[in-house]
Structure 1
Amino acid sequence: MAEETDHESKTEAATERRVREAIEKGDIPFSREAPVFASTLGLLIALALFARGQASQLARDFAPLLDDPRGFALETGGDAMLLLSRVALAAGRFLLPILLILAVCSLTASLLQNLPRFVLDRIQPKWSRVSPMAGLSRIFGTSGQVEFLKSLVKFLSVSVVALLLLRSERTRAVNAMFVDPSQLPELILTVSIRLVSAVAIATIVIVAGDLVWARLRWQRSLRMSRQDIKDEHKQTEGDPSVKARLRSLAQDRARNRMLANVDRATVVIANPTHFAVALRYEPSENPAPLVLAKGQDLIALRIRAIAEEKGIAVIEDKPLARSLYDAVQVDQTIPAEFYRAVAQILFFLFARAR
């Protein structure tokens, strides 16, 4: 019941990170029917292109044995081994090209679905792979039912096609008992090509459906709940509350450093309560006044309080204080458009100091 509820809660498509992690772990969509179908096509190609010549050679190799069985001595074990080696060599020459084509087609079908990837986790022993309960859940679960249905449909399709084909070849099979034995390989080859072609045509729909089903099942298995997406976002981007707290601490540290520099200011230009900008002017340090600190509301009041405590002049100029606050950042010199206004204030202060 809990498992069903868990599946129902996973309604969101998998994120790129989830898909990437699944691929890295070897969890990839794979159709078992595609390699089988490719092997069937490979067998058809082998029979149509190579088997005919190979069948003729096989018939010539076995002709002496069929024409004169008594001509082969079987008096000792060595004679038997010699006969078996000749039979095996002839059969190997016939089967080896076909087997190679089947292997190449099957591997190609697998590689076209997904590139090979070595994943250690896939070969590590796990109890779930040998657990009877896990095996029963796979057999009687949705995947097991789908696999059973595919196998049943494929078995019925192949059986019907093979039956219809063999019935159509019944007359030829009966007549084969009265023809030269050397012609039997050609007859068997022709019937085999027709049978494999019919089987390939009958199963192509099953293979196409299995490819789609494998992809849909894989995407469904990677679905995530909204909570999963939130947790992943926290892992990748960080917890928003923690990030906000860190940002607040960084701002507090920057503010404290800024306020610590106010005692080095030459003058503080302020709006009575809303804005305050602390400037330092030392020609030997900077060609223009430097902004040491600025603030609004409570920070502005704090800057004024520090300035008054340190005996630094506080000049109230509402337009200039607001303009400097908006235009200049801390640790930057004032722009040229403020030179005249600030120079008048500094000239007044220096003149009064004398």
Structure 2
Amino acid sequence: MAESESGQDKTEDPTEKRKQDSREKGEIARSKELNTLAVMLAGTGGLLAFGGGLAQTMMELMRTNFTLSREVLIDERSMGLFLLASGKMALLAVQPVLLVLLIASIVGPIALGGWLFAAGSLAPKFSRMNPLSGLKRMFSTHALTELLKAMAKFFVVLMVALVVLSSDRDDLLAIAHEPLEQGIIHSVQLVGWSALWIALGLLLIAAVDVPLQLYQSHQKLLMTKQEVRDEHKDTEGRPEVKGRIRQLQREMSQRRMMAAIPEADVVITNPTHYAVALKYDPEKGSAPVLLAKGSDFIALKIREIATQHNIQLLESPALARSIYYSTELEEEIPAGLYLAVAQVLAYVYQIRQYRAGKGKPPEPLKDLPIPPDLRRDS
């Protein structure tokens, strides 16, 4: 289907988030025909497997209850005990079949779509109480599909039942001439096999319904291009929100950076456009670390804080630009700048010694050795 100009045609496959949201709402593919088939096959299989024992128990139950003595019949307490014992015997006889049916009723629904418990699907939907919505559902494509499936199921079961009864006609008539016990067992077997063939007839309906339910579920989850874009924005974050987050992160980073400037050994400036603050810890024996860097207004703030805390300011445009572009915050300077920064730190230490009255004033620094690959001329 071609996409309209409004972008409302659902031509895009559902995203994983769309599928997950649908599962949380309980909107997954389910096949009632598959559930019915599973229960029917389990019931008939259980009847065939345990039918002999069930028939024997029922005959024993009937024999016991039809041969009660006169004393038992006139004793109300004895009749109650016989009723309780008969109920217990009947329950134990049908218990295996009931257990098989219980397992089938659980396995059948989860065979398509898997196990799912969605609390949201238990909430009442008042929109379903709207008569107009109800009429719309009655004459919808889904309602027509369900009607066709019901009619097909009826005709399939009818045809299979007619064929089975026609083939078993002689056995059904023969039951009337068999002894009671043999007739009961034979009847159970005939009922079991007949139900099994009828259940197998539902395979055709389930084979059509399962792909249909999967297709309809997929069609409901299809998305328009705009929905895909909106979901991507919601998942990845809208641009304005992401921009605000980045701004807050930059502000927090700048506050931490400004708080670290008083620990610096020297601030190298451009002198106006760039400023970088370095610290060297001789005990660690590693290279100098960049504590702060900035340009224009940030560079001005770095110089102000350095002046307030008596941090040495040193003008070296080439070195300031090289460190600014090659080193990130809290990282060591590149090996190519070791010699230049070592000369700067030595100069700063000599100034400190001179101010403390322990040495001569150092000579001004000349051109610092900066490798061409680290030099930034502008």
TM-score by length of 2: 0.67
Q: Is the 8 A contact 1:25 1:121 kept in 2?
A: yes
CA-CA distance at 1:38 after TM superposition: 1.7
Aligned to 1:133: 132
Residue of structure 1 in register with 2:225 after alignment: 226
**Inter-partner Cα distance in structure 2 for 1:26 and 1:210:** 19
**Residue 363 of structure 2, aligned match among 346, 351, 354:** 351
CA positional deviation for 1:167: 1.6
CA contact (8 A) 1:294 1:300 kept: no
Could you tell me which residue of structure 2 aligns to residue 27 of structure 1?
27
Alpha carbons 1:63, 1:182 under 8 Å: kept = no
The CA deviation string for residues 300-335 of structure 1, in whole angstroms up to 9 with x for no partner, is 698489979x89553454xx4554333323455544
1:207 corresponds in structure 2 to 206
Unaligned runs of 5+ in 2: 352-361, 366-378
Deviations 1:170-220 (A, max 9, x none): 333344444444443233223213312211221113223323333332233
Q: Classify the secondary structure of the residue corresponding to 1:9.
A: coil
Identify if the C-alpha distance between structure 1 residues 91 and 139 changes in structure 2 by more than 3 Å, giving closer, same or farther: farther
Other-structure match for 2:48: 48
Output one character per residue of 1:101-128: Cα deviation in whole Å (capped at 9) or x when no partner.
32232223234443252x4333333223
> Post-superposition shift, 1:60?
5.0
State the AA in 1 paired with 2:192: I
String of CA shifts for 1:29-73, please: whole Å, max 9, x gaps.
22212222122112222222211232244345446999x9xx99x
Q: Aligned AA for 2:195?
A: V
Alpha-carbon RMSD across the aligned residues, in angstroms, is 4.8
Q: Within 1, Cα distance between the matches of 2:169 and 2:281?
A: 113
| Aligned-pair CA distance for 1:150 | 1.8
The answer to whether structure 1 residue 324 and structure 2 residue 323 are counterparts is yes
Report the Cα distance in structure 1 between the residues aligned to 2:89 and 2:248, rounded to whole angstroms: 84
The one-letter amino acid paired with 2:200 is: I
Aligned AA for 1:237?
E
Whole-angstrom distance in 2 between the partners of 1:65 and 1:331: 94
What one-letter code is carried by the residue in structure 2 that aligns with 1:107?
I
Distance verdict in 2 for CA 1:247–1:170, change over 3 Å:
same
Task: Specify the SS of the correspondent of 2:363.
Answer: helix
Distance in 1 between residues matched to 2:281 and 2:92, nearest whole Å: 98
Does residue 268 of structure 1 match 2:274? no
Cα distance in 1 for partners of 2:161, 2:243 equals: 71
CA distance 1:285–1:330, shift in 2 (3 Å):
farther
Q: Are the equivalent residues in 1 in contact too, given 2:44–2:195 (CA < 8 A)?
A: yes
Q: Distance in 1 between matches of 2:299 and 2:88?
A: 100
Question: What's the offset of the Cα at 1:159?
Answer: 0.5
- 2:216 alignment partner in structure 1: 217
Q: CA separation of 1:95/1:6 partners in 2, compared to 1, >3 Å: closer, same or farther?
A: farther
Is 1:106 aligned to 2:105, yes or no?
yes
Task: Output aligned runs, 1:288-307, within 5 Å.
Answer: 291=290, 294=293, 299=295, 303=299
2:356 is matched with: none
Q: Distance in 2 between matches of 1:248 and 1:279?
A: 23
- The AA in structure 2 aligned to 1:228 is E
Tell me the SS of whatever aligns to 2:171: helix
Structure 1 runs not aligned, ≥5 long: none
Q: Deviations over 1:209-243 (max 9, x none)?
A: 32333333223322332332333333332212331
Q: Give 1:247's aligned residue.
A: 246
Number of positions where the alignment pairs a residue of Structure 1 with one of Structure 2: 335
- Using the alignment, how far apart are the partners of 2:194 and 2:315 within structure 1? 102
C-alpha distance 6-268 of structure 1, shift in aligned 2 (>3 A): closer
- The residue type equivalent to 2:269 in the other structure is V
Comparing both structures, which one devotes a greater share of its residues to helix?
A: 1
Specify the SS of the correspondent of 1:227: helix
In the alignment, the residues of structure 1 paired with residue 321 and residue 293 of structure 2 have an alpha-carbon distance, to the nearest angstrom, of: 10
Partner of 1:144: 143
**Contact 1:276-1:301 within 8 A present in 2 as well:** no
Identical aligned residues as a percent: 28
